[in-house]
Amino acid sequence: MVPAVLVFLSGVAALVYQRRLHYINLFVWPARDSNAPPAATSRRGYHVVHGTAGAMTYWAISDLNESELSQFAQLVAADFGHGAAQP
């Protein structure tokens, strides 16, 4: 996947990806703490996966099913940790 939109706002990168008919909003900024395991939640039909990998904190938000959003977040985290993942 390639981001369709990339915006920087006050030190936060906001990227928008598309998976079929679903959009994934990814917010990324420099982490204050070391690696934190991913956590997931759902609210009002949206799924949220967030965590810290490498030196970055990320939040992925979408109405995509929870399993696919978690896979996306794993690829993001792997990319931050190793710089090699390709979604």
Q: Which residues contact 53 (CB under 8 A, 6 or more apart)?
A: 35, 76, 77, 78, 80, 81
Strand bridging mode 56-62 / 46-53:
antiparallel
User: Does position 53 have pLDDT exceeding 50, yes or no?
Assistant: yes
CB 15 within 8 A of CB 87: no
Structural domains of the chain, ranges and CATH numbers in brackets: 5-82 (3.30.200)
The amino acid at residue 1 is M
Least-confidence region, from 2-6, 23-27, 49-53, 70-74: 2-6
Enclosing H/E stretch for 10: none
pTM to 2 decimal places: 0.83
